[in-house]
Structure 1
């Protein structure tokens, strides 16, 4: 409600939306109350009806579904910006929740004031508390609706909120700490970008890093090594979680020559660490597609042509001529016609086809 009132006061062109998650029968009536307020203010209003099931990870599932619905709604109405009502309380609660999980700097950083494109989600109230917004609405003589789930102690966020109240913790200092951590995270990212330009190289589908650089960063800048590896692995397959990266750093300190993690295969070569896609984690073949995994396929594709991982069909290619390791080529694209291999562009069997990486040509560009 505070977002709506503020936007009206500023004379902005608005379209309001209420998301009904389908979890409470009262939610429909509450949405009607908001619609009536909007009608009186001559603001178009929509209600988005979701159908969530109660159960595990409800708040996370609700958040994911809500953002997806808001994105679709904004695009349908050609709205470039969606305003969200997150406050300093939300920032403080998230900080404490993640501290309890042992989260690193990036996870402790304040949520961004702006995120996403088409639409851009904007959070204008991150420096204001819920109580200040309530006081403002009270001064204007405008009521609001409290979601009863905000008092449901089944949810971790609610329990954190209750502990904050019991300890009389002011959310603003906590939110300022989260903001400072966001600035630190951005600085670390810039440093990681500079290190990547000097220490990461792309070899076909793989990322290479000199072992001398790995050893140096293990001793002097472990956080930067963690960021470099996370960026490289996300570019290759999936972004690893914090515990995964901790295990990887442990493996690098040991004598292991190969390991798998987050869809990647790591190999300690003579002078370099090689990260490649683990063939067993590749997506299944797709029929009639010119895009598969992280590759764009150039060449004739028919409805009966499939694109998938090369795998054991590598034995039918002159792969040694490519100069790439066999393990690296297993996860590269292969084109098949009715199940028969007809091309493997990176394994020396082009036959009129090519394969190029989609998106950024290398990590940290």
Structure 2
């Protein structure tokens, strides 16, 4: 969905619609600002001009209730959608708001509510109005933190394994979108927080300079990420084994592969086994990689994962510290330690914690061949189910869904990491991720 240079909004939307698998129903996230309002009208215009594509629209507005007037703005969007004949719903962020980290919390709530709205309106995918201006701001912010070339905002992200969130205007400018709206005589809402300098993105926006080569840099970074994901998936097939669903094992040959691939794969495995949403930082990886490719046996802890280097390869398991219990009432679901998803279908409250587990009963010649210390460490980090201090009965255990959870992928998975993450699902024998709802990207069939 990207282009080598910022594309006109109309051409970007036409290319997007023709790339979609059809029939399709699109949920448009509309805040009332120029970007999302432009997205809505551009899609409405293009869909009506191409009925043979069998694409329909619906829309949702998330009211974060963070400032006065947000409810009125949501009603204005609802009126616009009604005038276009587009079904619309308002999703309210209810409950107490955090005093710190409000932007991250609002983002999490926004996508959760959009996914709920997509279910309610029977949509197949979600689109948002991110623009090339947002991309430039993101790249500038990330450039302040690292010298590595960033891939910036992804054009496609899978949320909660369920809905793909696509950004068809990511290579169109805000100025061009506003020109389109002015030609149509359609006003938009200016959010005052977009001028509030307490937010880093606003400060970056004010400092932006034009970089004529940015589009090519982004395209190159995207291609590099996709290639690493593909090569990382091949690396998993050839050089990685999983024992008992708990103990990772990189075979010796896997440690002698290209460093870029090893960096990519080990970083993401660290996040998965450590239950962390992000891969370790550069300083941590610069400690881990020389250790992993060295010839001296030993242990190292990075990102809540113990790496145990032996003659037969590198073993990795969650360290046995800082693993907190998770209490689930009947009908509740949650993620334990960032590593396991649990849904309590039993009639009593349960606790997911470490302790005696059916996994400890794994015996036989296969498990006896594993390094005892490494296997013991892995088993000690396994989930166990209890209720009122006692192990659950076999009947209750059958009513609890417990499955691996990949913290860096299962909530937000960019298409850049999709190939690697999907291959990892096969390694853990979990369900595959939902495929992209696209027939083509950049005119290339997928």
TM-score with structure 1 length normalisation?
0.78
| Aligned match of 2:236 | 196
Q: 1:279 to 1:134 in 2, by over 3 A?
A: same
Q: 1:114 to 1:307 in 2, by over 3 A?
A: closer
| Aligned match of 1:362 | 427
| Aligned match of 1:266 | 307
Judge conservation of contact 1:110–1:178 (CA < 8 Å) in 2. no
Judge conservation of contact 2:241–2:248 (CA < 8 Å) in 1. yes
Which aligned pairs between 1:173-212 and structure 2 lie closer than 5 A? Answer: 173-204=213-244, 205-211=246-252
CA displacement at 1:260 relative to structure 2: 2.3
Matched residues in 1 for 2:68 and 2:392: separation? 57
| Aligned match of 1:348 | none
CA displacement at 1:111 relative to structure 2: 1.0
**Aligned partner of residue 57 in structure 2, secondary structure:** coil
Matched residues in 1 for 2:382 and 2:104: separation? 34
Indicate yes or no: 2:43 matched with 1:7.
Answer: yes
Of residues 174, 185, 190 in structure 2, which corresponds to 1:130?
174
Which aligned pairs between 1:1-365 and structure 2 lie closer than 5 A? Answer: 1-10=37-46, 11=48, 13-51=56-94, 53=97, 55-102=99-146, 104=148, 108-113=151-156, 115-116=158-159, 118-164=162-208, 167=209, 169=210, 173-204=213-244, 205-211=246-252, 213-214=254-255, 216-217=256-257, 221-239=258-276, 240-243=279-282, 244-252=284-292, 257-284=298-325, 303=348, 308-310=353-355, 322-323=367-368, 324=370, 325=372, 326-334=376-384, 339=389, 358=404, 360-362=425-427
| Aligned match of 2:438 | none
Q: Alignment length, in residue pairs? A: 341
CA displacement at 1:5 relative to structure 2: 1.1
Q: Deviations over 1:13-45 (max 9, x none)?
A: 332222222122122222222222223223333
TM-score with structure 2 length normalisation?
0.65
Q: 1:72 to 1:357 in 2, by over 3 A?
A: closer
Matched residues in 2 for 1:342 and 1:69: separation? 34
| Structure 1 unpaired stretches of 5+ | 344-351
Judge conservation of contact 2:125–2:164 (CA < 8 Å) in 1. yes
Root-mean-square deviation (Å) = 3.8
Q: Deviations over 1:45-68 (max 9, x none)?
A: 322222574753332222111111
Matched residues in 1 for 2:289 and 2:201: separation? 32
CA displacement at 1:334 relative to structure 2: 4.7
**Aligned partner of residue 17 in structure 1, secondary structure:** strand
Matched residues in 1 for 2:202 and 2:82: separation? 33
Matched residues in 2 for 1:54 and 1:362: separation? 37
